[in-house]
Amino acid sequence: MSSRSVLPIALALLLPTAVAGAGDWTEFRGPGQQGHSDELGLPLTWSPTEHVVWKTDIPGLGWSSPAIAGGKIWLTTGVDDGRSLRVLRLDAGSGAVEQSIEIFAPAEPGSVHAKNSHASPTPVIDGERVFVHFGSHGTACLSRAGEILWKTKLDYNHRHGPAGSPVVVGDLLVIACDGTDVQFVVALDKATGQEVWRKPRVEGRMAYSTPTVVDVEGKPLVVSCGGEFVTAYAPESGEERWRFRYPGGYSNVPRPVTGFGLAFVSSGYDTPVFYALPLDGTGELGEDRVAWKSTKAAPRNASPLLVGDELYLVSDNGVISCLDARSGDVHWQERLGGDCTASPLCADGRIYITDENGLTKVIAPGKTFQELATNELPGRTLASLAAADGALFLRTDTALYRLDD
């Protein structure tokens, strides 16, 4: 099932949640949920014959990012056009597939968007548990040994396929379920899978975004983008703390990032508007509470990246913008390559941006544009990079690569 071949300035960053163990990448966009890694010694350049430690063929198709802890990689995939939804466990050192576990087997998985798959949500590793989500096909919890501990199903029509990943908050697993029929955010007991609370979206539309957890005045807050609205919830009860309406926004994909007391969110399709909103708001936020907004090259799929005082946005057509995070003023804009869906990564004092055609640009963070390298691997690439164990992990439509100096 797999083939492997062995080929011959730290940044001060504010993270919204506790960082996992050194060398781990435990969820979509990493343990801090903001696309940052503390890994050092990462490769600046690579090619099919340079800095590829191993390449493992991955069966089926999935756009989930690797989740990595304790030297093990967890990855989801959909085999037989989504009729077998599986979890793979790989050894991070060798790339060997140690387990392939079928979690769900929908007889009619339905169609997916051209930028999606039946296995796009990224697994979440929390202690000795691994949580996987396949949209309305089902959600499950496994032990790190690969034993299925519980399974459940959340009914909603995800239409274009599953996309948003779950997030762990204390003893809860929080999931945004924004379908074409119903829209709600739900919290499950992570030990049992039992529903603890469910909050319907008001006047919502379909969306595919992953919630972000941030500490506000010593208490956790869940910021979740849905169609028409972004809403902030108290995770212990699901109480709505504030919400903001971006009229006409739907099919939201980018995960919010936070910093300087602000939540940075994109309004979604068709013509996105990017907003900076106060995290300490209450009730319905009006336009007068918007710190700033921008319509230029706002992302529809890639999540934003906050590094120091600068915010980086990557549009679908491959234009990256560097903005002042507090004011929204644009420092520079550059076209980096082809269309982009994957979210950027900041690691080892660099920013890595991968387009849909296997090309990764590496740039230096800062108010002046500086390109450091251009790297290419064969295959379609919509999954976001992961960094762990002193290496980068890049997923294409057919394989997973370990890139290491």
CATH class of 36-403: mainly beta
Q: What confidence score (pLDDT) does residue 405 get?
A: 85
| pLDDT tens readout for residues 325-363 | 999 999 999 998 889 999 999 999 999 999 999 999 999
pLDDT, one tens digit per residue, over 166-190 is 999 999 999 999 999 999 999 999 9
* The pLDDT of residue 393 is above 70: yes
283 membership: H or E segment, kind and range: strand 283-285
Quick: pLDDT tens for 204-257.
899 999 999 999 999 999 999 999 999 999 999 999 999 999 988 999 999 999
State pTM to two decimals: 0.93
Q: Which residue has the tokens 């082809």?
A: 338
pLDDT band for 4, please (50, 70, 90 cuts): very low
**pLDDT grade for 7, boundaries at 50, 70 and 90:** very low
* Mean pLDDT calculated for residue range 9-23: 39
Confidence category of residue 13, pLDDT binned at 50, 70, 90: very low
Q: What is the pLDDT of residues 23-62, one digit of tens each?
A: 899 999 999 999 999 999 999 999 999 999 999 999 999 9
What is the pLDDT at residue 336?
84
- For residue 22, the model assigns a pLDDT of 58
Q: For the sheet containing 305-307, what is the strand order?
A: 305-307, 310-314, 319-324, 330-335
- SS3 per-residue string spanning 339-350: CCCCCCEEECCE
Instruction: Specify burial of residue 265 (Cβ count, 10 A radius: 0-12, 13-18, 19+).
Output: buried
Written as six digits, the tokens of 325 are: 């995070």
Q: What angle do CA 96, 98, 100 make, to 5 degrees?
A: 115
5 pLDDT more than 60: no
Query: Contact 231/224 with Cβ under 8 angstroms?
Result: yes
Q: Does the pLDDT value for residue 1 go beyond 60?
A: no
DSSP letters of 103-142?
A: EE--S------TT--SS-SPPEEETTEEEEE-GGG-EEEE
Q: How far apart are CA 281 and CA 368, in angstroms?
A: 33
Exposed/middle/buried for residue 6 (C-beta within 10 Å: 0-12, 13-18, 19+): exposed
Collect all residues with Cβ–Cβ distance below 8 Å to 150 and sequence separation of at least 6: 140, 141, 192, 193
The domain ranges of the chain are 36-403
- The per-residue pLDDT of the chain, averaged, comes to 93
All residues at 6 or more sequence positions from 145 whose CB lies less than 8 Å from its CB, including other chains: none
Res 122: pLDDT: 98
- What's the CA gap between 89 and 144, in Å, rounded? 9
The one-letter amino acid code at 178 reads D
Per-residue pLDDT for 298 more than 50? yes
Per-state percent for the chain, helix, strand, coil, to nearest 5? 0, 45, 55
Kindly tell me the burial class for residue 87, based on how many C-beta atoms sit within 10 Å of its own C-beta (0-12, 13-18, 19 or more): buried
